[in-house]
């Protein structure tokens, strides 16, 4: 039988002490690490990595996403993003076109092959996260979201809220 991490000691009422903070950091690290490992094999089979996945994910969420907005979302250098987008374009997963009102803009959209790959990757993530959510229950999920939202700086919250509005 698997050991349940939730059976570990509950947080102290003084939950801002170092042991509780360290436990939170460790759980975030290992949870995210195992979540993303669920898609690594599929990405590797395509000759892609996690940076490619993040680009595919956000382009899927916002078709006709401007390259400048993707740069802000991913918080990576232009050079890194250029490499990722070139590889995705060469593989026929992402297409780029000029903006209608501003011809200098490059708008990004997934191709049908890109949408299919992104959907497969998302399904793997959804399966892992859905199981964890179901195990934790609705109030724990809401608390988890509140903690994660608390980690986002105020000046970036509008960007995250914008993603929620586009469902």
Band of pLDDT at residue 12, cut at 50, 70 and 90: low
- For the cut 50, the answer to whether the pLDDT of residue 95 exceeds it is yes
Tell me the average pLDDT of the chain.
Answer: 88
- For the cut 50, the answer to whether the pLDDT of residue 106 exceeds it is yes
- For the cut 70, the answer to whether the pLDDT of residue 82 exceeds it is yes
CATH number belonging to domain 32-127: 1.10.10.10
**What are the helix (H) ranges across the chain?**
18-45, 50-61, 67-74, 78-90, 112-136, 138-151, 157-165
Which pTM was predicted?
0.84
Choice between 92 and 20, residue whose per-residue pLDDT is larger: 92
| Chain mean position to CA 49 | 13
């Amino acid at each position: 039988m698997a050991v349940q991490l939730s059976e570990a000691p509950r947080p102290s009422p003084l939950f801002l002490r170092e042991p509780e903070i360290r436990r939170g950091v460790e759980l975030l690290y290992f949870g995210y690490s195992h979540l993303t490992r669920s898609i690594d094999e599929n990405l590797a089979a395509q000759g892609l990595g996690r940076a490619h996945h993040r680009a595919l994910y956000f382009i899927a969420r916002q078709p006709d996403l401007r390259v400048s907005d993707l740069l802000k979302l991913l918080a990576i250098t232009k050079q890194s993003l250029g490499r990722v987008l070139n590889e995705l374009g060469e593989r026929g997963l992402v297409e780029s076109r000029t903006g209608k009102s501003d011809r200098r803009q490059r708008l990004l959209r997934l191709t049908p092959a890109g949408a299919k790959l992104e959907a497969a990757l998302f399904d793997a993530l959804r399966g892992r996260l859905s199981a964890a959510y179901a195990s934790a229950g609705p109030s724990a999920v809401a608390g988890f979201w509140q903690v994660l939202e608390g980690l986002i700086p105020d000046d970036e919250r509008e960007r995250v809220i914008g993603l929620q509005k586009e469902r």
